[in-house]
Amino acid sequence: MTDSKLSPGSLIARFVARRSLIPASLWGGLFGISVFSSAYGFVISFPTLKERAGIVASFGNNIGLKALFGKPYAIDTVGGFTQWRALAIVVLIGSVWAIMHSTQVFRGDEDNGRWEMLLSGITNQRRAAAQALLGLGAALVAMYVVVAVFTIGVGQISDVGFTLGQSLLFSVTILCGPAMFLVIGALASQIAASRRQALLISAIVFGIAFLMRAAADSVDSYEWLRTLSPLGWVEQTRALTDSQPVWFAVIAVFILVVGGLTVYLAGLRDLGSGFISESSTRKSHTRFLNGSWGLTLRLVQSSMLGWWAGTALAAAAFGSLAKTAAEALSSSSSATQIFQDIGNTKLNNLGEGFLSIIFMVVMIVLMVMAAGGLGGIREEEASSHLDNLIVRSVPRSTWLASRVTILSLGILVAGVVAGVSGWAATNVAGLSIPFDRMIWAGVNLAFPALLLLGFSVLIFGIWPRITTAVGYGIIASSFLIQFLAAAIKAPDWVLKLSVLNYSALAPSVDPDWHNNLVMLVIAVVATGLGTYLFTKRDIQAE
């Protein structure tokens, strides 16, 4: 029965807002924790002016760190350091979430036929698109409130000293990246003919924006590129030091223009189509359609190639900067200590140590690959695509085992690819690391992701609707615990709550094969139990 008080004119906006509220609030909390840890960690780690002056010498001219975190401004102050350390990572993670969520709202539901039900009411495609954008905007407001609470809270600490205005403005800055890529994902969903295409278009825009920002921050002659990159605009707002209102205006205009173009294009296309059509003239073939295992290979081959290429490029790009980063770190014991605290280990070699921290980021990427892959498995069930297979002679256990096994092998290959590309880049840059050591370092990257995958399969077998949320929650909490514990000198038991803590930071240190074996055994047992429970429960649609 329909609620008579619910206005038909706002039905889609309310639906999207309710659907987006919880994930947006959770990410807002994690972003707020990152801001808190960066600011509070700075005042603990660098209590004197002398120590803070050393940060400029260590980090200010380091090409590798500029490419990763952006160009530092007033880094010897609490506000400048917080902007530099927290903003870059938070904006990148938030933008990736925004792309994933926006394309699901605008294109994923359309591909699955759900959008037709929403459009069957008193509305049209343009109004529906406008309402969906309003719903996403409401979710951003919830994210803003959560981030602002943390930022205002840390600002009240006497040694931090952010004013209320600075805290509120910096919270806006954090949301600028996600807001821009929400509308970019929405626009890509109108242009593309499927969510897969929309994700590809959005990812290309994101990659170009990041590379332009990294190049501008690393090479003085390329500084003009910063004015062309949405991520560069966010960097230049400087809300906690010398605020630049013009860049907030540029970002606002960009969001309004891209959002307006999204609404306009929504009315020019037919439902289920796009301005970039997918080719339907290719000759059909039945390659791999010889069972559940072959079908899985056919379904995931494109995404696997994308993940492998992405990890290879990331490892190569930052591996090439390891030597220059090591040269900067060698002049500052405080800077070295920060990296050792993050990794919770002693760095035997600064170049390898920097590469190990980068490999920790790649480790998180592989965990995202695991969570996203399991999310895709859940989507097959939720969208009723699984029904078409299990009504035939395909056992449920075979269907799930084929997808989990191939995803696991893909994660392992991604780790090896990262090791090989990292080895090639570091050697070209003049930092010689043995090939076999880098290969084992790459293999080492896979075990936390496999552990996460096993646990996610267990959740999938018990409570499938929360599978994706739990997976991404573990990733985000592990990442922030690793950095938060390092910043505030938390006790060891806090670090033990992070999955990342159980994997050695190779190649700076040798992989801990005992821990890796334990993680693998737990993953196998959890996967087996989850598969068994899946065969015993009912199929649950969305």
Q: 276 - beta bridge partners?
A: 192
The tens digit of pLDDT for each residue in 480-515 reads 777 666 555 666 666 777 888 888 888 878 899 999
**Cα–Cα dist 511/513, whole Å:** 6
pLDDT value of position 273: 74
Supply the mean pLDDT for the chain.
Answer: 81
pLDDT at 395: 82
Backbone phi and psi for residue 506, each to the nearest 5 degrees, phi listed first? -75, 150
Task: Identify whether the C-beta of residue 266 lies closer than 8 Å to the C-beta of residue 129.
Answer: yes
Amino acid letter at 390? I
pLDDT at residue 443, as a whole number: 94
Q: What pLDDT is attached to residue 169?
A: 94
pLDDT of residue 229: 92
Chain segment 199-236, per-residue pLDDT in tens: 888 888 998 998 888 888 877 788 888 899 999 999 99
CB < 8 Å & 24+ apart, contacts of 74-80:
74/241, 74/242, 76/49, 76/52, 77/52, 77/241, 78/39, 78/42, 78/43, 78/159, 78/160, 78/161, 78/162, 78/240, 79/162, 79/166, 79/240, 79/241, 80/240, 80/241
* Residues of the chain above pLDDT 70, percent: 80
Any idea which of 51-55, 313-317, 475-479 has the lowest mean pLDDT?
51-55
Which pLDDT belongs to residue 182? 95
**Residues 6 or more apart in contact with residue 131 via CB below 8 angstroms:** 9, 10, 11, 12, 13, 16, 123
Name which of 201, 175, 169 is nearest 97 in CA terms. Answer: 175
Helix axes 164-191, 245-266, angle to 10 degrees: 30
Question: How far apart, in Å, are the Cα atoms of 185 and each of 58, 272, 277?
Answer: 38, 16, 17
> CB of 456 within 8 A of CB of 470?
yes
Q: How far apart are the first and last CA of the chain?
A: 19
User: Quick one: DSSP state of residue 539?
Assistant: P
192 strand-pairing partners? 276
Question: Span 373-386, mean pLDDT?
Answer: 78
- At 166, list the tokens: 């600075």
Which run of H or E residues covers position 73? none
By the 8 A CB rule, do 501 and 364 touch? no
Q: Look at 97-101, 251-255, 388-392 and tell me which has the smallest mean pLDDT.
A: 388-392
Q: Does 288 score more than 60 pLDDT?
A: no
Q: Nearest-CA neighbor of 507 among 292, 296, 275, 351? A: 351
| 36 exposure class (CB count in 10 Å sphere: 0-12, 13-18, 19+) | buried
- The reported pLDDT for the residue numbered 410 is 92
Rounded to an integer, what distance in angstroms lies between the CA atom of residue 332 and that of residue 6?
61
Q: What is the distance of C-alpha 483 from the center of its chain?
A: 16
On the question of pLDDT at 312 being above 60, the answer is yes
Q: Is the omega angle on the peptide bond into residue 464 within 30 degrees of 0, that is, cis?
A: no
Token readout for 20 is: 């987006």
- Sign of the Cα torsion 440, 442, 446, 448 reads positive
pLDDT at 279: 55
CB 351 within 8 A of CB 318: no
Rounded to whole angstroms, how far apart are CA atoms 139 and 257?
A: 20
> Distance (Å, rounded) from C-alpha 414 to C-alpha 280?
31
Other CB atoms within a 10 A radius of the CB of residue 98 amount to: 27
In this predicted structure, the answer to whether residue 541 has a pLDDT above a threshold of 70 is no
449 pLDDT exceeds 60? yes
pLDDT 10s digits, 412-447: 999 999 999 888 888 776 777 888 889 999 999 999
The tokens describing 40, both together, are 């509070």
